[in-house]
Structure 1
Amino acid sequence: MKSRLKSSIYIFLTVFIIDQAVKYGFAHFNWDVQGSVMSLQLAYNYGVAFSMFSFLAHYLKYIQLGLVILGTLYLYKNQDVFKEYYFAIALLYAGGLSNILDRFTYGGVVDYFYWHYLFEFAIFNLADVIIDLAVVIIIYKQFKQGKKSNNKVCEN
């Protein structure tokens, strides 16, 4: 358990620091670049995914922080879940807490990836990609475990 905790802390810190450094660059050094398929363009998201709930802009940081605290309490009480999903959890916390820190620091989440080839997509950031990756890993592991339990049931 201790090695998984150490690994997850290392993963968390690495991803969190990289994400915050990139966001700082966009927020303070005008790193905007226009491309034909995708652009790097500073935008602030005051809501959640696709700017939903932007009317809660001031309160979202507290709501999200509360959810992180509840998730942490759940993981503390269910350490077997943490053991199984520590890598994905580290990614999820790094991306989530980085976006929450943006809300406290900049008033909104710093976004900068802007896809605009053939269709326009919401502007997003590295933390969003990391969160999505964590969710994909969790779903994959759940699917894999489900197949294993189905095979055991069929064998009996």
Structure 2
Amino acid sequence: MKKALLISCVIFLLTLGVDQWIKHFILDGFGWESKALSIVLVFNKGVAFSMLSFLGEGLKYLQLMLIVFVWVLLLRQKEFFLKNYYAFGIIFGAGFSNILDRFIHGGVVDYVYWHYGFEFAIFNFADVMIDIGVGILLLRMVLSKTK
């Protein structure tokens, strides 16, 4: 358990660090545009697709309580945590990075804007890492059911 927790914490810190490092460049003015994709700075006051933005400042505290609550639940489900510790490191590192943005910048720093063929929500590296972490969890669950 200690080894898995340590590795999960390292992955957490790496994911958090890389995301904050990228956001530093975006906040310093880095931008880029093409016909399909743009790098533009947006502060998202809500969650995905700006949902729940009506909660204002309370959203960051709600999210922080939720992430701590889920972390405590996971640690109590040792077997599930041990099978998926790396995915949880990714998910929690990315989620915490976005919450940190809310405390520091008043909203999540988003910057990747897909606009070819259709307009998609603006997102960031942490959002992609959360998707990857959840995808790993889902894939492992599906594969374990087929065995």
* TM-score, length of structure 1 as denominator length: 0.91
Deviates more, 1:2-11 or 1:12-21: 2-11
CA distance in 2, matches of 1:33, 1:49: 23
Specify the alignment match of 1:85 in structure 2.
Answer: 84
Specify the alignment match of 2:139 in structure 1.
Answer: 140
Specify the alignment match of 1:94 in structure 2.
Answer: 93
CA distance in 1, matches of 2:4, 2:110: 31
State, as a whole percentage, how many aligned pairs show the same letter.
44
Unaligned runs of 5+ in 2: none
How far does the alpha carbon of each residue in 1:86-130 deviate from its partner, in whole angstroms, 9 at most, with x for none?
011000001100000000000000000000111110000000000
How far does the alpha carbon of each residue in 1:10-36 deviate from its partner, in whole angstroms, 9 at most, with x for none?
111111111011112212x11011111
How far does the alpha carbon of each residue in 1:52-97 deviate from its partner, in whole angstroms, 9 at most, with x for none?
1111121111111111111111022111111011011000001100
CA contact (8 A) 1:45 1:109 kept: yes
Specify the alignment match of 1:61 in structure 2.
Answer: 60
Matches of residues 112-151 of structure 1 in structure 2 within 5 Å?
112-148=111-147
Specify the alignment match of 1:23 in structure 2.
Answer: 23
CA contact (8 A) 1:85 1:138 kept: yes
Could you say what secondary structure the match of 1:118 adopts? Answer: coil
Could you say which structure has the larger radius of gyration?
A: 1
Structure 1 runs of 4+ off > 2 angstroms? none
Could you say what secondary structure the match of 2:33 adopts? Answer: coil
- Report the count of equivalent residues: 147
Specify the alignment match of 2:72 in structure 1.
Answer: 73
CA distance in 2, matches of 1:76, 1:6: 13
CA distance in 2, matches of 1:116, 1:57: 27
Letter matched to residue 4 of structure 1: A
